[in-house]
Structure 1
Amino acid sequence: MSKKMWPIIMQFLRTNAPYITLPIAAVVGIIGYNLESLLSDRYTPYNKSVQDQRVDRLSSEEEILNDPTNVKKLKYQENVLGRNVSPSLEKN
C-alpha cells in the first residue's frame, strides 16, 4: 500500500466505526459468556432470609443487653474482606 492510501483507509474506518466494532464486540461477548459458563460454578447455597437473620441477631443482642456482666471486648473479630465471599471462592 502506498502512503496516499492510508488516509482513505482511516477515513473509511472512522466513518464506519459503529458498523465495524459492533460485530467484533458481539463475538467477544458471546465467547466470554460461553467461557464463563464453562469455567464458573453456578451453585448457590441456601441462606436464611434477611428477615430471619435480623430476628436472630436482634434476639441474641437482647440477651446480651439484658445481662450487664456479659461485656464483649472490642477487638478484631473477623476478616472484613472475607465477609461476602462468593461460594466458589470459599475455602472448604
Structure 2
Amino acid sequence: MWPVVWTAMRTYAPYVTFPVAFVVGAVGYHLEWFIRGSPPPRQEERGVLELREERKLEELTGRDSTQVTSLKDRLEFTPRAALNRNRSEKSQE
C-alpha cells in the first residue's frame, strides 16, 4: 500500500504543494502585518525626472536667460582633430 501512496504523492506533488504553499504564504503575510501593525502612510516620492526639472529651474532663476555662450566658445569641448582636419595652417591661428 505504501508504494502506491508514495507514487501518487510523487505524481501529484505539484498539484498539492502549490495550494499549500499559497495558503501558508497568505497566512504568514497577514499574520506578520497583524503583529507589526499597519505601515505608516507613505508620502508620495517625487520621481527622478521631477527632481531634475526642479533643480534645473532653481539653477535658471538666478541666471540671465539673454546671456548665452556663443558657439565659438562651445567648440572647446569638441576634439580638435576633427575640427582642424580640413583647415589650412593659416586659418588655424
Q: Please classify the TM superposition score into its range, dividing by the shorter chain length.
A: 0.3 to 0.5
TM-score (normalised: structure 1): 0.44
TM-score (normalised: structure 2): 0.43
Higher helix share: 2
Larger radius of gyration: 2
Q: Of the two structures, which has the highest relative contact order with CA contacts closer than 8 Å and spacing of 6 or more?
A: 1
